[in-house]
Structure 1
Amino acid sequence: MGKMKISRRKWVAALCGAAMTLSVLTACGPQGGGSQAAQSGQEAEGPVNIQMFAGLFSELPDMNDEYWSGWQEMTNSKLDIEWVPSGDLNTKLDLLLASGQLPEVVSTTDFTRPTLISAIKNGAFWDLTPFLGDLSEYPNLKENLAEDALKYLSVDGKIYALPRSRSRVDGGLKIREDWLKELNIDVPATMEEYKDALAAIFKAKPGTVGHLFVDNPTAAMQAGFGVYNPTYDDAGGLVNPRLTPQYVEMVGFFRELYAEGLMSKEYAVMKETQAEELFKTNRAASYGRPIWWDDEWEKAMRKSGEEDAKILNLHLKGPNGDDAVALETGVSGGFYISKKVPEEKVKQLLAYFEQTASQELTDYAYYGKQGVHHTVEDGQKVLTEQGVKEVNTTSKGAGVLAYAKWGKVISASASKTFNDAKIAEVEAFDEIGKIDPYRVVTVESWINAWPQYDTEYKSMMTKAIVGQISLEDFDAYVAGLREQPALKQAFLDMAAAYKQFQES
């Protein structure tokens, strides 16, 4: 995909939200700085009220706390947000879209979700293209987004959403570096060395889980097995990654880990919160999650009795030499505006989102107020106790934000020394990582065809990993799916869409 740079393209984006538990309405004061588009209308009419569905990735926020009061004051807004727990986000989104009872803004993290694409095609959301034009009135959206951000989030060449900007370098395959040193184990560089290291840790620390695997295989593992290498069938169709021979090979690797007791026996029903707790309390050796958690999790490990706890994000090579590094698109979903919103209100919402894409608001989203949420140490902003409580993943969920290359790598609660070392640890990832091609584009034929196979596929994969069926049986099952007429047509359509994306 090439090295990240600031995009000046006209495209803008897509994604959609979810919701649930509680809405809170808060008042605000005068607006801070912003573009001409952001200031026009809002200053004359007062704070803009915004109803939104958005993901909840931490404790339910107090919308009257110092952070959210400041955000709303700076953006001259009053936010009425229904926060949806991240684990329920897709389910809630599907229900929301089916009901047709949309809030003014819907935010989500999966811009290729079938129900979302269908809702867009059925006219549930505004086509923002005529409003945005050449982006000359929206300089932050024009200058501060990830490369191709607006392409990723377009549907049929039209802009239906504004992006949730996030770092391309995000997840890492973590291992307990302190345990490697304690047991005199070399840092693994290949998949086989990784498995051997887990086995050695398990032998020395009985009861420890080796590899934590929840729901889908860690993206880094998929990249390492070549799953994200675009793979075409004999007809020229772009095969879905999970239906490739490489994926079957990866399932075989997990089958070996499971057979040797190096994965949790309950992995198939484990929740992300349970896996995180295992890792943070020194009961697991390896886990694939966002890199920026490392400082917080190391501190939790030390509180649980491991004073020398240290996390390393591995750079493994797969069996065919592929780098086990996965990248995000730079766009973690988007903000969609319901077609029920009057045209004049759409302009107000766009002015709000334009301002949230400024560097000023982005810095605030990551660090909050100086002296309240952060202090400055050695030239770096470091969160205070109040900052740790109020500034988190959820607090970044109400605005576009400017693209930050290391935004999901560095920790706002860590020292400059820690963060500099963490960047050095993963500095090469942005150049060598792969993006799942099926996360770049989607087509209606795939959206319509895959759901009827999805549940059975997941069941068969689990059976193959835990040994209830042979790997050969799983391979034959996957090969059979590749020959299904509806899927073969979807592969062809995906190949055409992917080519168009690359050439546009």
Structure 2
Amino acid sequence: MNRQWRKNGISLLVIVIIMALLTSACGGGASKGESSPSDNTSGDEPVKLSIFIASRATDEMYTNETLVWKEIGKKFNVEFDFITGDAKTMRDKFPLMISSNEYPDIVADAPSNFNKYGPQGVFIPLNDLIKDKPNLQKYLVDDKIAKSQIVNADGNIYGVPMLSAVRTSEGPLIRQDWLDRLNLPVPETMDDWYNTLKAFKEKDANGNGDPKDEVPFSTAGTFYLNFADAWGIDLNEDGRWMEENGKMIYTPIDPRAKEFLTTMNQWYSEGLFDQEILSRQDKDYTSMVFNDKVGATNHWVGYVASFNARPEVENIKGFNFQVTPPPVMNKGDKPLTSRQQQIVVPVAWAISGQNEHVDKTMEIFEYAYSDEGQLLFNFGVEGDTYTKEADGTLKYTDKIMKNPDGAAKALSRIGAQPWIGFRQDARYEKAAAVSEDAAKQLFYYVEQNYFRDPVPALKYTEDDFETSTEIKTQIDTYVNEMISKFIIGQEPLSQFDAFVEKVRSMRFDELEAIQNKAYEANKELMK
């Protein structure tokens, strides 16, 4: 790898003294929650930092002229040497970079990779470096949930991750105009949902005169599993291990899973579910939605909420999908979902063991977590890509919102929302939403606090990780197959106990022991 290094002409001690004098002369210091390094006005040669990073815009790679990175360069007197490409290219390059034994100063990738190679010396532990960085300390260490999701099994933090701003991810949504047409309330309990879907099927809910063309419930993927929220369990493959009563349990073999599957089988057999739900692709799903056939769904909330503003529905009078609370079993139960964005987004940046400018790099990492840095990485530059209203509301300029290729592409091209460690801003989600209604729906679960406590982020020894992955892959393959068969009736629910015994015969006890060992280790790390 071609790495160019340039020595600074002034010693680090002199730089520190000059910066201290400048700060003193200005009579200022960092306000709480801010990072305020001195801007580059001295004319010194910029520090060169090489950075391995995927560019979010596939048609415009990051350079030192990319708006956001240009601002970082000016603020910290840094010139970046970008080693970049699209996401797939950089995923392919990562193992080659690791095997080369020549590492860029900064690497942006998945936290799991930093935790894997950090103990080998490829990336340096940041624990001690974070202690005098108030923003990193506050948001990454003092926040115990965030810390649990990023810390390695050896107790070290090797990467600074992106932090999410909105916990909302998946949930049920329903055609409010269909409810209004049939004079039905928003369903709350599972019995409510059954009665509502049955009415959608039988009573011409779309009002076109044909009472047999409605599909009461449809989705793409396995979002239908989210009805298990009513039983307090998560049956999605990425959430099947849950904490309960001080230990980890595997939900598919829990008695509540049988109750859930019995209900789903009933709904499917009575035609309340899309009969192609197990294989329905998004293209066909959205086609049905935009042809006024689907009454309810479970999906990414922000995605479906945006349908109300799509041109495909302009000719469907009153078309109105609205998010509903997670389903419950009994009236008065608190609606809660296990499906949520983790605080730590699985992208981060780290410092390689060959970085000769660790202090400068940590200044940048700290700045990215500050309020000022949060604005830059979420919105860009004030007056250019966003404006601030008198009431403090932030709005993207026409440069972003009226870009012919869309706002998301425009933001990627200026370097906003990069795959690095920074704090996402809830105002970004609101400003980027296609409508006020979509933004309101996205934040509904947040405002109502409909989220269960997140499952502990378990960390494993290398041997335990390999063993658990091997066992889990085999079990999940079988469980996925059987869940589908139970729902559509290819396998009778009378065979559920046999299904449980089969799972237990697949080295389950060994996997369970590894999960609980990691759970206990996690509790120790969090002390």
Relative to the length of structure 2, the TM-score reads 0.69
Which of 205, 222, 233 is 1:227 aligned to? Answer: 233
Residues 60 and 435 of structure 1: CA distance in aligned 2, closer, same or farther (over 3 Å)? farther
Which residue is equivalent to 2:160? 162
Which residue is equivalent to 1:201? 200
Which residue is equivalent to 2:251? 241
Cα distance in structure 2, aligned partners of 1:182 and 1:390: 35
Counterpart of 1:257, as a letter, is W
Q: Which moved more, 1:464-473 or 1:184-193?
A: 464-473
Whether contact under 8 Å (1:298, 1:311) holds in the other structure is yes
Which of 100, 106, 109 is 1:107 aligned to? Answer: 109
Unmatched tracts of structure 1, length 5 or more: 1-32
Residues 360 and 453 of structure 1: CA distance in aligned 2, closer, same or farther (over 3 Å)? same
Counterpart of 1:477, as a letter, is F
Cα distance in structure 1, aligned partners of 2:365 and 2:287: 35
Which residue is equivalent to 2:517? 493
Unmatched tracts of structure 2, length 5 or more: 1-33, 74-79, 207-211, 235-240
Whether 1:142 and 2:159 are equivalent positions in the alignment is no
Bigger Rg, structure 1 or 2: 2
Shift of 1:37: 10
Residues 118 and 129 of structure 1: CA distance in aligned 2, closer, same or farther (over 3 Å)? closer
- Which aligned pairs between 1:254-293 and structure 2 lie closer than 5 A? 254-271=264-281, 275=285, 279=289, 282-293=292-303
Which of 327, 335, 354 is 1:342 aligned to? Answer: 354
Cα distance in structure 2, aligned partners of 1:38 and 1:272: 48
Whether 1:353 and 2:353 are equivalent positions in the alignment is no
Summarize deviations over 1:254-282 as a string: whole Å, max 9, x none.
33333233434444344556656655665
Which residue is equivalent to 2:186? 187
Q: In structure 2, the residue corresponding to 1:169 is in which secondary structure?
A: coil
Relative to the length of structure 1, the TM-score reads 0.72
Summarize deviations over 1:372-395 as a string: whole Å, max 9, x none.
544566843344554242447964
Summarize deviations over 1:355-387 as a string: whole Å, max 9, x none.
322323333444444555445668433445542
Cα distance in structure 2, aligned partners of 1:274 and 1:41: 60
Q: In structure 1, the residue corresponding to 2:248 is in which secondary structure?
A: coil
Which residue is equivalent to 1:83? 86
Shift of 1:451: 1.9
Q: In structure 1, the residue corresponding to 2:229 is in which secondary structure?
A: helix
Whether contact under 8 Å (1:201, 1:210) holds in the other structure is yes
Counterpart of 2:346, as a letter, is G
Aligned length: 448
Measured on the aligned residues, the alpha-carbon RMSD in Å equals: 4.3
- Which aligned pairs between 1:90-489 and structure 2 lie closer than 5 A? 100=98, 105-108=107-110, 116=113, 119-120=116-117, 123=120, 125-129=122-126, 132-134=129-131, 136=132, 138-144=133-139, 148-156=145-153, 157-171=155-169, 172-203=171-202, 204=204, 205=206, 206-217=212-223, 220-227=226-233, 230=242, 237-271=247-281, 275=285, 279=289, 282-293=292-303, 296-300=306-310, 303-319=313-329, 321=333, 323-326=335-338, 327-337=340-350, 342-344=354-356, 349-370=361-382, 372-374=384-386, 379=391, 380-384=393-397, 386-388=399-401, 389-391=406-408, 395-402=416-423, 404=425, 410-413=430-433, 418=437, 421-422=440-441, 425-430=444-449, 432-437=450-455, 440-444=457-461, 445=464, 446-482=468-504, 484-489=508-513
Whether contact under 8 Å (1:164, 1:397) holds in the other structure is no
Counterpart of 1:343, as a letter, is N
Residues 196 and 338 of structure 1: CA distance in aligned 2, closer, same or farther (over 3 Å)? farther
Shift of 1:155: 1.2
- Percent identity reads 16
Counterpart of 1:437, as a letter, is V
Shift of 1:226: 0.7
Residues 343 and 364 of structure 1: CA distance in aligned 2, closer, same or farther (over 3 Å)? closer
Residues 84 and 210 of structure 1: CA distance in aligned 2, closer, same or farther (over 3 Å)? farther
Residues 479 and 155 of structure 1: CA distance in aligned 2, closer, same or farther (over 3 Å)? farther
Shift of 1:300: 0.7
Whether contact under 8 Å (2:222, 2:278) holds in the other structure is no
